[in-house]
Every structure is written in C-alpha cells, then in structure tokens.
Structure 1
Amino acid sequence: MPVTDAAADRALLEDAARAAGEIARRYFRARPEIWEKDDGQGPVTEADLEIDAMLRAMLTAARPDYGWLSEESPDDSDRLTRGRVFIVDPIDGTRAFIKGESDFSHALAVVENGAPLAAAIHLPIKDRMYTAAQGQGASRDGTVIAPSGRGDWDGARVLGAKSNFKPERWAQGRPPVAPAFVPSLAYRLALVAEGRFDAMVTLRASWEWDIAAGALIVTEAGGTAQDQRGRPLRFNNPHPQVDGVVAGTRAVQAALVAGLA
C-alpha cells in the first residue's frame, strides 16, 4: 500500500474524532454504564468502549498496514513491527465525562517510527477541533494557532495537578508560576499550543495515548514538548508510557525543565 502523507492522515483523524464526538454526545449526561478497571486504572464507561470499537474499525479499515494502540484495547506487540501506528484515547478525561463536565476530549495520533506525524484532539461538547500534521503547523477549527510567546516563567500560567508544584519536586522550591488545572492531558497540551496557557507539566509516568496527539500540536504550533528530563518524547514504546511531560513556550518550558529537582 502506498504511504500516505501527513495531511491525509490528519484529515482521517479529524473525521474519526468527529465521529467519536457524535457517540460521546449521545451518552453525555445520560448515565452511561460505568466499570472500574483492574489495577486502579480508573473508570471506563460504555461510551469509551463504543468509541474505541468505532475508531478501531474506521481507522484500521482506512489504513490496514498501521498498528494500533488504544487505552481501551488490549495491547498487541504487533504494533512494534509497524512503521506507523495509531495511538488513541477514546475519551481523555473519563472522570470529567462521567461528572457531566465538558473538559473531556478525544485524542488521536499517527506515529511514525516513534515520532508523531498527524494529530487531532476534539472536544465535542465545546465544539473545538485541534489538528496538526508534521511540518505543516497546527490549527484550531481551521485557524492557525501559536503559543503565548511568554519569555519568563515568573508568573507564567502553567497547567498541572497540585502535586506537580510541591516544593520538594523543584531544586529551588516551588516555582514562581500561576498553576491551573483541567482534567484532560490532551486538552492541556492543546491549550498551551493555542497560547491560552504558557505551559503544562505532569511529573508522573504518562500513557502515550494521553500525550502523542497533543505533543505534535504543541510542537507544530511553535512550542516545545519534552519529558521531565528534557529528552525528546518517543512513542510506540514496548511499555507505552513516557517519563512525564513538560510543554510550553520555548523559554518557559526550558525554565521548568531546568528548575526541576
């Protein structure tokens, strides 16, 4: 099969993300059935599972030579043999979805040899669509986006859970930033990419499906996204996690990485 270009994969992901949104809206605030995953991995709803099944059928039919990695599908080591892989979170922010809050998203990426190639993040209740393709920039609802341009971390608006800002995590104590929080990691990255926040940080090992799409959107917008030690983010790992994420304007992101203990 001929290799498709990044723009074609981006268009496919956008269509799939919109289809996911149609399913999510049907279940939203409609008391979907909920189960708890094993090993304390949190809740999953019938909406997550229906979206996962739809995305897998749609995407792998369109690109049968691509591998598959999703939060809600059993992992298959066959993906490690594929040059390109779909990395998908059917609903990022399931707890927010269950509560009837609108800050959940669908996060879809195509990764090629460890690097994101195309991405879509869709917030169906807010009716927002963020997309990117390697070398072709990033957009929200078709309009080009860019980070805030902030050059100093003093007072920077940084998205992250409260635990990330504990003084003991930082070489010189708590950083001089203004923290904020939204539940979806993918949405945090999108908000940084469009300049509504200056940076985001998560210091826990992070699942690839939460990060891959947003990492590309940030970097294509003109920001930087790395792990917490300042190393490039690589995806489709045998164990599909990365060592935390720090993303933002180039200056604020660099200051945050340098400031970590």
Structure 2
Amino acid sequence: MPATDLPLLIDVALEAGKIATRYSGPQAQRWDKPEGAGPVTEADLAVNAMLERDLQAARPDYGWLSEETEDTPDRLTRDRVFIIDPIDGTRSFAEGSRTWAHSLAIAEHGEVTAAVIYLPLRDLLYAAARAQGATLNGSAIQVSKHAHLPEAEILAAKPNLDPHHWQSGSAPKFRRVYRPSLAYRMALVAQGRFDGMLTLRPSWEWDIAAGDLILREAGGVCTDRSGQPLRFNNARPRLNGVVAAGSDIHASLCAQLDPRGVGISA
C-alpha cells in the first residue's frame, strides 16, 4: 500500500464534502433507480464525477467500483481497487438530515488497506490505514470493551430482529438503536459510541468497505453474518451481511445467529 493512499482519500473526501454541501438536500434533483435500488440525487452524481476523475488520475492502475458508476469486469484484473459510495445515506441527504457520509476505501487483493468515512455536516472524519490504527478527526479511537450482550447497545434496523435470523427462533436481548447511514453505524462502533452493529441482508461492498478497515484498526472484529472475514472486489460486489463489535459482543452475536438465514433487513 503506497504511504500516500490515505492522505489522498482524506483530500478527496474533504473536496466531496464541499461539493455535496452546495446542494440543499430537499431541493436537490432526485431520481429513483430501477428495480427498487433506491434514490440518487444530483449531489451523488456530482460527487461521484469528481471522485472518479481525481482518484483515477492519481492512481490510473487502480480499479474502480462505485455505487454511482456502471460496473465493468476491468476492476477484477487490478491488484488494487477504489470502492466508493459518493453519498451513503442518500435518503437522509434528500430529507435534509445531517446524517449522511462519503465512504471511500482502497482494497488490495481483497483486503481494505486505506479508508475514510466523512460526515461533512457533522464535522466527523474517520480514517484508517492498514496496521496504523484508526482515527476520528486525527485522534485515535477504539471499540467498546463491553462484554455482556444483554446490556449492550447495538446499531441495527428493526427487521434484523426477525426470528428467522436467529438459531433459537428469537433475537437475543440487547438495546437496539439505529442511525440511517450504514457507513456511519460502522464508524460509531469503531469510535466506541456503541457496542456493535449488524445488518443481515446482502450488503453492497461500497457501503461497508471503509467501515470494515476502520473497525478492525480500532480493535474490533468485522465479519459477515456467518463469521467469515469480509473480502472485497468480488465479481458480484455484495457480501453476506455484516456483524461488527468488540470481540466478546461479536462472538455472542455470531453464536446466536443462524448462518443459513437469508437477510432481508437494512
């Protein structure tokens, strides 16, 4: 991993924030993607255009995977690839909320090596590079050391509690909380604000790649719903959910999940 990869991601994330905040969420032009894939706004497209231009100019040998760019097989031939969500939490952005993020990552041979999650309206910039720890606005962060699931606060959408996800036929006891941006949920766990997070539906790589590294560099464990490490730049860029927490809470959640379940939640 080039030593300049993380500074590059930080620079373009800050520029993305300047572009996105020029648009007023509810007034930004908005479209619905085909097949129920969710909304996209003119801000998403403007941010994506800048990121694609500047990042590919800086690293022409890296592949490209973004929510807002048509995917091609070319990235599968590259050792390193950018994995980008120009705006994670587009619905929140369009509603005028402050809780949306730019999520930027670089993966090398399937493992994320540099990552940034930036929430410009909350002035929060989470960053990590492989074997260098994770930071929030330049200060080191680490996951919660909470060990007891019944008292833990877990970021999860309500459908994750559906009985078919759990071996016993019911979800374990924990305190459920929610934030709309999946990248922000992962960052909040890395920060230690919450004890864990889970999303049990198939999850797009661009939603979770940056959070995966930031969580692991903050001392957490981040896997799919079956407990397997997350690997990126797959031919079909969708993973089998995400479970992330400190080691004890992660183990408790995975022990009770049914790995055969088919996720439908957010």
TM-score range for the pair, normalised by the shorter chain length: over 0.9
Which of the residues 13, 17, 22 maps onto 1:17? 13
Residue 107 (str. 1) matches residue 103 (str. 2) = yes
Deviation at 1:216, TM superposition (A): 0.2
What's the counterpart of residue 231 of structure 2? 234
Counterpart of 2:186 in 1: which secondary structure?
Answer: helix
Residue 198 (str. 1) matches residue 201 (str. 2) = no
Residue 40 (str. 1) matches residue 36 (str. 2) = yes
What's the counterpart of residue 207 of structure 2? 210
- Over the residues paired in the alignment, what is the CA RMSD in angstroms? 0.9
What's the counterpart of residue 87 of structure 1? 83
Which of the residues 50, 53, 57 maps onto 2:49? 53
What's the counterpart of residue 256 of structure 1? 253
Which of the residues 171, 174, 188 maps onto 1:174? 171
Distance 1:28 1:91 in 2: 14
Distance 1:41 1:168 in 2: 24
What's the counterpart of residue 165 of structure 1? 161
2:26/2:95 contact within 8 Å kept: no
Identity score, percent: 53
Which aligned runs of 4 or more in structure 1 are off by greater than 6 angstroms? none
TM-score by length of 2: 0.95
Deviation at 1:192, TM superposition (A): 0.2
Which of the residues 185, 190, 196 maps onto 1:188? 185
Counterpart of 2:122 in 1: which secondary structure?
Answer: coil
List per-residue Cα deviations over 1:3-55 (Å, max 9, x = no partner): x52x4111100111111100111113460100110111010000000000000
Amino acid at match of 1:217: I
Question: Which consecutive unaligned segments of at least 5 residues does structure 2 have?
Answer: 259-266
Which of the residues 66, 70, 84 maps onto 1:70? 66
Deviation at 1:169, TM superposition (A): 1.9
Deviation at 1:79, TM superposition (A): 0.1
Distance 2:14 2:26 in 1: 19
What's the counterpart of residue 136 of structure 2? 140
Distance 1:182 1:20 in 2: 21
Distance 1:167 1:104 in 2: 30
Deviation at 1:168, TM superposition (A): 3.3
Question: Which consecutive unaligned segments of at least 5 residues does structure 1 have?
Answer: none
TM-score by length of 1: 0.97
Amino acid at match of 2:190: A
Amino acid at match of 2:79: G
Counterpart of 2:50 in 1: which secondary structure?
Answer: helix
Distance 1:25 1:254 in 2: 39
